[in-house]
Homo-oligomer: A and B are copies of this chain.
Amino acid sequence: MSAEIVSTGTELLLGHTLNTNAQYIAERLAALGVYCYYQTTVGDNADRIGLVIENALNRADIVITTGGLGPTMDDLTKEVVADLFGLPMEMHPDHLAKIEAFFQRRGRKMPENNKKQAMLPAGSQAIPNHLGTAPGVIVEQGDKIVILLPGPPFEMRPMFEETVVPYLAAKTKINPGVLHSRTLKVVGPGESVIEDRLRDLLTAQSNPTIALLAKTAEVHVRLTARARTETEAAALMGELEGEIRQRLHPYVYGVDEESLASVVGTLLKERNLNLAIAESCTGGYIAHQITNVPGSSDYFLLGLASYANSAKENVLAVDEETLRTYGAVSPETALAMARGVRRLAGSDIAAAVTGIAGPGGGTEEKPVGLVYAAFVAGDKEEVEKLQLFGDRVTIKEKTTYAVLNRLRVYLAEEVRP
């Protein structure tokens, strides 16, 4: 069974609104095992909306639209679909009553033009909308289905979950396969390096399929198996996952919803160790990532964004001599910062970064993207030199990944729980 997503709204064509509805619906369709090969966005124009829906119906069993169910003149989707199927519009008094009640609750009288929202194509099924005035619509004709949903995500999402998901689940009973996905998260090697290592697997892929997705500072390897049950899917994916993990070792840091920071947090808890961070060029981003993890207060003692040299000296006790001789961006300063924050927080482990995030401040021998990352734990002391590329925020993010990954490898490989 296949579906297409049609997003309507001139605000989407003008780029005033980010189309989060299409992503939401696409993800849910995939989870339901409904194939989706195309998404289309079109403005508030009856002719073009009609063409797009007609075209989509020629390719797919189901067309799901968002937008154009409002009370105004440029809300057209429902009328277009009724035309397309040659269905008259019928007034539904029960929905009219709901809409009037909606305005009553807000102490307002229903504007005349909202009546239009109680009109549905003859023989269609309404999708209740508890958060707005526009009911959704399911129109079936022959083996084709059109599902119309409103544009505001906070109305569309609950309607999709409450009514559309059960409806599609029932329809897809006949569907032979359901998609189960598992994402391996890889930090370190780039997309093309990973493809080199997995080339034969990528070429031979059938079920499960393998997809590589490059992010700013990591790569996701997504396995998608088509199977009747979770167990069957797990069996299909297990062996392949093991093989991929082995080939990419030690760079697979986690799966699915795990973040690099959450994995580091789990390892710190297991080993009963705590952490402090001193940041110059990342300016608090490493601490932010670590503290995005619920419960991070159990192991994260202190984050210090020592942006000014005065702060490096006075708070972290970085020797003024060191700063003068080697400069703020140097292995010596990075190490002194790590020692300083560890002493200050009395933590088991500490990391520190100093570098040039840009766009300004770069020189011939110290270009933008040059970062020194220091790491102290037990009696281990080390400094890594990084040369990163990208804009200011990208360099902050890549630096953060490098630091968190060093912590992960240390905790996973070099400490016994």
Binding site for B on A (CB under 8 A): 10-20, 22-30, 36-43, 45, 48, 52, 70-74, 105-108, 111-114, 131, 152, 154, 179, 181, 191-193, 195-196, 202-203, 211-214, 216, 220, 222, 224, 274, 279, 282-288, 290-292, 294-297, 300-308, 310-311, 314-315, 344-346, 357-361, 387, 389-394, 396
Contact = CB atoms under 8 A, between A and B. Distances in A.
Contact of A308 (B73, B202, B301): B301
A74, A286, A315, A392 pick with most chain B CB within 10 angstroms: A315
Given A23-B18, A296-B307, A195 B37 contact: no
Contacts of A113: 192, 195-196
A29 to B, nearest CB: 8
A286 B307 CA distance: 13
Contacts of A114: 192
Given A37-B48, A311-B345, 20 more contacts: A11-B222, A12-B39, A13-B26, A14-B30, A15-B28, A18-B20, A70-B191, A71-B195, A111-B196, A283-B287, A284-B284, A285-B288, A291-B357, A292-B392, A292-B396, A300-B305, A302-B304, A302-B306, A302-B315, A314-B344
12 contacts: A11-B211, A13-B26, A15-B30, A38-B48, A71-B192, A152-B214, A282-B288, A283-B291, A291-B307, A294-B359, A296-B307, A308-B345
Contacts of A26: 12-15
A40 B43 contact: no
A283 B307 contact: no
A378 to B, nearest CB: 20
